[in-house]
Amino acid sequence: MTSTLELTAVEYSYRRDVALRGVSLKVAPGEVVAVTGASGCGKSTLLHCAAGILTPHTGTVALEGQDLAALTDEQRSRLRRTRIGVVLQFGQLVPDLPLADNVALPLLLDGADRLTANKAALDWLDRVGIADEADAVPAELSGGQNQRAAIARALITDPALVLADEPTGSVDSQAGHDLLRVLLGATRDRGAALVMVTHDNVLAASADREIRLRDGVIQHEVELR
């Protein structure tokens, strides 16, 4: 079976810091993987390499068998737009746009007509429990509501892979627990694979597998299911 995500011997350095020193990782379709480890061990860099935002200096990243480095910039952006959904710590919604437009954006960028995109956005807002907030802009809502919209926006294109960087990091523990339920429910429901970076042991325990990084290498892996 082709892995949804496959990293092979990935190395990445910033100007001064070596962030990843040869990380290999396969994520199966529908699998939920938690990436944990102390601050600065390379978790976000790993996620950014997986998303095609950073290009590894050595090693390869393949999405559904397709080596990202073998694509043109345009092909890579299209693949990222359609096959990968990203949820970051602070949602990263467009501040001036109502939630419904924020969530519809990936479909509109991919050429969907406005009516179809709006309908799908409203369905997704309903699914993540914030249908009543469709017309509000991000500043009018709580961190948890914004994160729900970010989850809806990440899932609306039916991606094969969802990448989440501290998705519950900006909200309190009860809201974080609810958000995790929404994120896991939505990804499992769609059969997408999920790779989430987290400091939170409760979050990590909900995954199928935990990958612990230390100083840019995988220190150990634990099968949880």
Question: Which residues of the shown chain bind ligand ATP in the complex (CB under 6 A)?
Answer: 14-15, 17, 19, 37, 39-45
Identity of the residue, 45 or 147, whose beta carbon is nearer to ligand ATP in the bound complex: 45
HSE-up of residue 215 (Cα within 13 Å, Cβ side): 0
Instruction: Give the Cα separation of 214 and 203 in Å (integer).
Output: 19
Distance in Å, CB of 43 to ligand ATP, minimum: 4
CB 57 within 8 A of CB 49: no
CB 87 within 8 A of CB 154: yes
Identity of the residue, 40 or 185, whose beta carbon is nearer to ligand ATP in the bound complex: 40
Distance in Å, CB of 90 to ligand ATP, minimum: 13
Instruction: Give the Cα separation of 36 and 13 in Å (integer).
Output: 19
Instruction: Give the Cα separation of 25 and 45 in Å (integer).
Output: 14
Distance in Å, CB of 26 to ligand ATP, minimum: 20
Sequence-separated (6 or more) residues with CB below 8 Å from residue 225: 208, 209
Distance in Å, CB of 204 to ligand ATP, minimum: 13
Identity of the residue, 19 or 163, whose beta carbon is nearer to ligand ATP in the bound complex: 19
Identity of the residue, 128 or 213, whose beta carbon is nearer to ligand ATP in the bound complex: 213
